[in-house]
Amino acid sequence: MYKSFEFTKKIKSYLLAMIVIGAVLAVAGIAMNLDHTHRIWANVLLNGFYFTAIAMSAAFFVIVHVLGESGWHTAVQRIPEAMSLYVPIGGVFMLLVLAGMHDIYHWSHTEHLDEILQGKSAYLNPMFFSIRTVAYILLWSVLVLWFRKLSLKSDSNYDLKLFNKQRGVAGVFIVLFAITSSTSAWDWIMSIDAHWFSTLFGWYIFVSTFVSAVAIVIILLFVLKSMGYMEHVNDEHLHDLGKYLFGFSIFWAYLWVSQYLLIWYSNIPEETIYYVQRIEDFGFLFYANVVINFLAPFLILMARGTKRKLNWLIAAAVIVFLGHWLDMYMAIMPGSIKHPEFGILEIGMTVFVLGVFLYAFFRNFAKAPVVPENHPYFKESFDYDNIR
């Protein structure tokens, strides 16, 4: 009834081509920037982090629906689930970042630190940082694989106990991720601007990648639908995904404003430096970030109709996906390379990592039925509708 996905040679060759093109461009970019290693490592971090965090956010999407006793999401659940399995692969890129630590994080030059950074050195030191990085990757990989295993079990064996166990794992997941999502964002991103601090930062980064994960679910749904799969996904499901994209884009803007407004208002130099740097050196991009990630999805998806039409929805999703890449760029680059740089290196690296991400997704998506048919709330997903 639900056509299972086949990872055909054709798709495989397209993706491999994408990976190769990306790799070639990236290598060319690296070759051109050998005297500029900051930029190379910053790009590894940018794409390594962005897609790993998206994979974790995709897992979070499933987990939060399990805990919220949701039924509708089961129709699309396997997409974010397969996305989440990218975590161990993305982790490899993050481990790579450790090798370039000195080029990104100036606190790692322990031999000459100022007084403030000396004060932080109990937390920000290469050893502890590496331990934390490895710990996040291991922990997250275990969590996503554990949940996936239970989810796949339900395909062959319908048992309510299994469902309860899924909820238990989801509970463990959410507690651990609630803590590590913030701390990992402090470690990997906030510490680039080592003197600067913001308590909101972890949540801000998490919501940014969460919106992006929803956007990718929509994009992948579109791709799968155009290949003739996922035909059971109807307008109501699209509407709900659209609402997520719309609502969380607004929520992202809310957090953006909260952080900006409080720092702007209090006008404490230690804090405003973060924005001063971004506005002075990245001026246009700084404002573009808000327009792309808030105004665009807000205006496109405000009407009911656009959330139910795949073409509009996909437009918003693509904008948001690219927009949050820019958001991460704005978080990472000013502290590490100081001035905006965009060229073959950035494009190549992004295409390469995106290619790997998609390859992993399709491979994992093909490994299991496209819907968890034995999920106790599965049928609910096909008999509900949104108020007009």
Partner 1 sequence: MYVSPVREPLISGEKSYSKVTEDIYAPMTGKPGKLWFGGLTLALIALGFGLFSIFITVWDGIGTWGLDRTIGWGWGITNFVWWVGIGHAGTFISAILLLFRQKWRTSINRSAEAMTIFAVMCAGLFPLIHMGRLPLGFFIFPYPNTRDVWVNFNSPLLWDVFAISTYLTVSVLFWYMGLIPDIGTIRDRLVPGIKKKVYSFLSFGWTGSARHWARHESMSLILAGLAAPLVLSVHTIVSFDFATSVIPGWHTTIFPPYFVSGAVFSGFAMVLTLMIITRKAINLEDYITKAHLESMNKIIIATGSIVGIAYITELFIAWYSGVVYEQYAFVNRAFGPYWWAYWIMMTCNVITPQLFWFKKIRRSFAATFVISIFVNIGMWFERFVIIVTSLHRDFLPSSWSMYSPTWVEVGIYIGTFGLFFTLFFLFIRFFPVIAIAEVKSVLKTSTEKFIKKGK
Partner 2 sequence: MQQTTFVSGYYLDDKDLVEGIKALQDKNIEIADVRTPFPVHGLDKVLKLRRSRLPRAGFIAGAMGTAIGFGFQAWVFTEAWPLNFGGKPYLSVPSFIPVTFELTVLFAAFALVFGFLLSSKLGPGADNVIFDEEVTNDRFQILLEVSNGNSEQLQSELQAVGAEGVQHHDV
Q: Which residues bind partner 1 (CB under 8 A)?
A: 67-69, 71-72, 115-116, 119-120, 123, 160, 163, 171, 175, 178-179, 182, 186, 195, 197-203, 243, 247, 250, 254-255, 258-259, 261-263, 265-266, 268, 270, 376-377, 379-380, 382-385, 387-388
Minimum distance of partner 1 from residue 59's CB (angstroms): 17
Non-local CB neighbours of 353 within 8 Å, separated by 6+ positions? 22, 47, 48, 50, 51, 93
Nearer to partner 2, 51 or 294 (CB): 294
Secondary structure element (H or E) that encloses residue 38, with its range:
helix 37-67
Tokens of 251: 């929520």
Of the candidates 92, 98, 175, 261, which one interacts with partner 2 according to CB under 8 A?
Answer: 261
Instruction: Tell whether residue 304 is a contact of partner 2 (CB under 8 A).
Output: yes
Q: How far is the CB of 261 from partner 2 (least distance, A)?
A: 5
| For the chain, counts of helices (H) and of strands (E) | 15, 0
What gap in Å lies between CA 211 and CA 215, rounded to an integer?
Answer: 6
CB of 217 to partner 2, least distance (A): 26
Is residue 287 a contact point for partner 2 (CB under 8 A)? no
Window contacting partner 2 (CB under 8 A); options: 20-28, 35-43, 258-266, 334-342: 258-266
Chain-centroid distance of CA 25 in Å reads 23
Give the whole-angstrom CA distance, residue 126 versus residue 116.
17
Minimum distance from residue 68 beta carbon to partner 1 (Å)? 7
| Binding range to partner 2, per CB under 8 A, among 5-13, 195-203, 235-243, 296-304 | 296-304
| Identified binder of partner 2 from the candidate list 128, 251, 264, 342, rule CB under 8 A | 264
Please report which helix (H) or strand (E) contains residue 388, including its range: none
Please give the torsion angle defined by the CA atoms of residues 357, 358, 364 and 367, in that order, rounded to the nearest 10 degrees: -170
269: contact with partner 2 by CB under 8 A: no
DSSP string, 99-148: HTHHHH-GGG-TTS--HHHHHHTTTSSHHHHHHHHHHHHHHHHHHHHHHH
The yes or no reply on residue 265 touching partner 2 (CB under 8 A) is yes
List the one residue from 128, 158, 251, 260 that touches partner 2 (CB under 8 A): 260
- Count residues binding partner 2 (CB under 8 A): 10
Q: Interface with partner 2 includes 302 (CB under 8 A)? A: yes
Residues 6+ apart with CB under 8 A from 47: 93, 349, 350, 352, 353, 354
Among residues 127, 267, 311, 339, the one that binds partner 2 under rule CB under 8 A: 267
> In whole angstroms, how close is the CB of 262 to partner 1 at the nearest point?
5
Entry field: residues in the chain: 388
Contact 212, 324 (CB under 8 A): yes
Structure tokens at 238: 């699209």
Please give the residue ranges that form the binding site for partner 2 (CB under 8 A): 257, 260-261, 264-265, 267, 302-304, 388
